[in-house]
């Protein structure tokens, strides 16, 4: 939560691109939107604030995260249009199918990209769109990258392989945003910087030393491990038929 204080979108996507992606994903003014792995609900809150006719459901397994999402929805006057569930995304069963389903930076909730596409599709109304954000290899990962991310090379594909996988499942990429290195850097400097700043301004807090250590660990994993090798793509998908 502290790490995301200055970059509430928990993915390397800047505000202008978040806006652009949502504008393409959600077209009808009375759309119903589901966000699986919604974090503090920032995507949905921005959408609902801009479109008074829309409704949303956010699902996240982190109790504190969902509590924060609930608080900010109330503060923004969106609580009557935004339902939040503290739940494993795989366990969620929808009461109403959504016109758009988002899952950005949370494909691990389903066990990977393939499972995420299949899982999100279960909640989608006919003719709806899905916005899926996941990592891909900008270049083949070396040992340092795999160690930093604690993953295998097979966990992600290159960009073409990522699109191919989605197409094999029966979906077409009708638009996508590939995060720039600037977006990644801004995301990671915010992540590590916000945590560090909090630790330095709260030196007496029992968690200050841990926060400093965690920020340093994360920064090393990024700068010494995955910077420039792990990419991030947010794909807008529609069904073939």
List residues near ligand SAM by CB under 6 A: 9-11, 37-39, 42, 59-62, 65, 88-89, 104-106, 108-109
Q: Which of 2, 8, 64 is nearest to 41 (CA)?
A: 8
Q: Which is nearer to ligand SAM, 119 or 128 (CB)?
A: 119
Distance CA 226, CA 100 (A): 31
Separation CA 116–CA 131 (nearest Å): 11
Nearer to ligand SAM, 112 or 208 (CB): 112
Please state the closest distance from residue 143 (CB atom) to ligand SAM, in A.
Answer: 25
CA 159 to chain centre: 18
- Nearest residue (CB) to ligand SAM, 60 versus 99: 60
Minimum CB distance to ligand SAM smaller for 91 or for 126: 91
Q: In the complex, which residue's CB is closest to ligand SAM? A: 39
Which are the contacts of 39, defined by CB distance < 8 A and separation ≥ 6?
4, 10, 60, 62, 65, 69, 105, 106
For ligand SAM, which is the closer residue by CB, 102 or 137? 102
How distant, in Å, are the alpha carbons of 104, 110, 146, 172 from that of 150? 20, 18, 6, 30
What is the helix (H) or strand (E) element at residue 199, kind and residue range?
helix 181-201
- Output 104 or 211, the one with its CB closest to ligand SAM: 104
Minimum gap (Å) between residue 241 Cβ and ligand SAM: 28
Q: Among residues 50, 94, 87, which one has the least CA distance to residue 69?
A: 87
- Residue 218 Cα to chain centre, angstroms: 18
Residue 32: other Cβ atoms inside 10 A: 19
């Amino acid at each position: 939560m502290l790490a995301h204080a200055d970059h509430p979108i928990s993915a390397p996507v800047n505000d202008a691109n978040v806006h652009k992606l949502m504008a393409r994903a959600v077209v009808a003014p009375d759309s119903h939107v589901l966000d699986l792995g919604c974090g503090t609900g920032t995507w949905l809150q921005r959408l609902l604030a801009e479109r008074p006719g829309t409704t949303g459901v956010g699902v996240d397994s982190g109790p504190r995260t969902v509590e924060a999402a609930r608080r900010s929805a109330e503060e923004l006057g969106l609580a009557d249009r935004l339902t939040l569930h503290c739940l494993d995304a795989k366990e969620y069963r929808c009461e109403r199918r959504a016109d758009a389903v988002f899952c950005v930076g949370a494909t691990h909730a389903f066990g990977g990209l393939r499972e995420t596409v299949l899982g999100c599709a279960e909640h989608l109304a006919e003719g709806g769109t899905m916005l899926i954000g996941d990592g891909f290899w900008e270049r083949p990962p070396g040992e340092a990258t795999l160690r930093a991310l604690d993953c295998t090379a097979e966990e992600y594909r290159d960009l073409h392989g990522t699109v191919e996988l989605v197409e094999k499942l029966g979906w077409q990429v009708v638009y996508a945003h590939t995060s720039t290195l600037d977006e990644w850097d801004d995301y990671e400097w915010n992540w590590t910087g916000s945590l560090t700043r909090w630790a330095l301004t709260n030196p007496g807090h029992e968690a200050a030393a841990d926060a400093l250590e965690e920020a340093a660990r994360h920064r090393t994993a990024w700068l010494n491990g995955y910077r420039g090798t792990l990419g991030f793509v947010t794909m807008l998908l529609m069904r073939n038929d």
